Amino acid sequence: MGYLFTSESVSEGHPDKVADQISDALLDNFLAFDPNSKVACETLVTTGQVVLAGEVHSKHYVDVQEVARSVINRIGYTKSEYRFDGDSCGVLSAIHEQSADINQGVDRAEKMEQGAGDQGMMFGYASKETDDYMPISLELSHRLLIDMADIRRGGKEMTYLRPDSKSQVTIEYGDDNQPKRVHTIVVSTQHDEFDEDEPMLAKIKDDVRNILIPLTISKLPARVQALFDDDYILHVNPTGKFVIGGPHGDTGLTGRKIIVDTYGGKGAHGGGAFSGKDPSKVDRSAAYASRHMAKNMVAAGLADEVLVQLSYAIGVAQPVGVFVDTYGTSKVTMSDGEIAIKIAEVFDLRPAAIEERLKLRHPMYEETAAYGHMGRTPRTVKKVFESPYFGSKEMEVELFTWEKLDYVDVIKDAFKL
């Protein structure tokens, strides 16, 4: 008998994602002028207020108020009726110096012997379900919200849209564990006030069905388009009107959407959040490294589905454990334990080596903080940073380096594929 599997996503205007983006924008600004910055920034957003807290060790001073306001305005909170907008909200900073006790366990005279910034376990996952090696339920959830944000910014259709929204996609699988069809789509979006509720709700549902979903489908590969039929269930704003939203509707905090950030409930999660943390924190860097490993393993033909776990002790360079699960889809005559030993020989998993291999000391993080850290397209962009002391700095930055398929041939050679 087949089964249903569901993943959700949230938009860049969701309160928790607003917090994530502010935390990562602060991180980027520190790294732009001091790549060795140690940063752990947390953000809280609520009605008319932003609170910044955490620990930083850096040679650079960041105008945290200006950075926070810039992010909020970019997202689209620019009107007073939202009860939260970039130009008028209060910004309180309680950021202080990083603990010297933690720093002594991380920094080393020999860079490559840098210890892990914390203990913990991190997971990476990949499968052949989509061209991006991601779970299809999560990929569709992200794409719906990316397209809705594009429609909102375009200002020509669905002009009532406000920044806060959520999506959810349920996929029906067959006995062979392959996706068969899209079963249910849920879209909830913040909107402007209407004169009457029932016509408003009918209009939004009609636009989601006839404007948003066709736009998303049109951008999908043919094999994914084939999963859509006329029988899918659609829920749009199922609780009714959704005028009060964003940080005015719900308080947002950094790190509360870790499943949205990763694999939508597929694979596993070690529990550590990403945003606001520099790459010495293996919660972030080792999660990216394990995704890089899993994706290249599947792309190399080692297995159809792979889960990688890395685990670390604070202050220790080498991981204390490497685990691999191929879910019975391995194409080599080795146990998963033997695969784990071999793959740990292919990838240098010391934190400093991960930082170097994936170029994680570059200011690449604000773009990760909405619509998922995994399954994104690697690309190079130009970014400009402003400093009250050092002026303007323009940089070319590689984004989503852990999504590169640059180890496929190395893995094929190692496993004789």
With both helix axes pointing from N to C terminus, report the angle between 336-346 and 408-415 in degrees, rounded to the nearest 10: 130
Query: What is the reported pTM?
Result: 0.95
Annotated binding site for L-methionine: 55, 98, 250, 281
pLDDT digit string, tens, across residues 155-166: 999 999 999 999
pLDDT digit string, tens, across residues 86-145: 999 999 999 997 665 455 556 555 666 787 878 899 999 999 999 999 999 999 999 999
Task: Cite the residue boundaries of each domain of the chain with CATH code 3.30.300.10.
Answer: 3-9+136-245, 120-128+279-415
pLDDT digit string, tens, across residues 313-323: 998 999 999 99
Annotated binding site for Mg(2+): 16
Residue 116: what pLDDT? 84
Would you state the structure tokens that stand for residue 390, as one six-digit string?
């050092």
Among candidate residues 2, 9, 19, the one with its CA nearest the CA of residue 188: 9
Annotated binding site for ATP: 14, 164-166, 241-242, 250, 256-257, 273, 277
Annotated binding site for K(+): 42
Q: In the chain, what percentage of residues exceed pLDDT 90?
A: 88
> What gap in Å lies between CA 84 and CA 190, rounded to an integer?
14
The CATH number for 120-128+279-415, chosen from 3.40.47.10, 3.50.50.60, 3.10.580.10, 3.30.300.10, is 3.30.300.10
Annotated binding site: 14, 16, 42, 55, 98, 164-166, 241-242, 250, 256-257, 273, 277, 281
- Burial (Cβ within 10 Å: 0-12, 13-18, ≥19) of residue 346: middle
pLDDT digit string, tens, across residues 264-308: 999 999 999 999 999 999 999 999 999 999 999 999 999 999 999
CATH class of 3-9+136-245: alpha beta
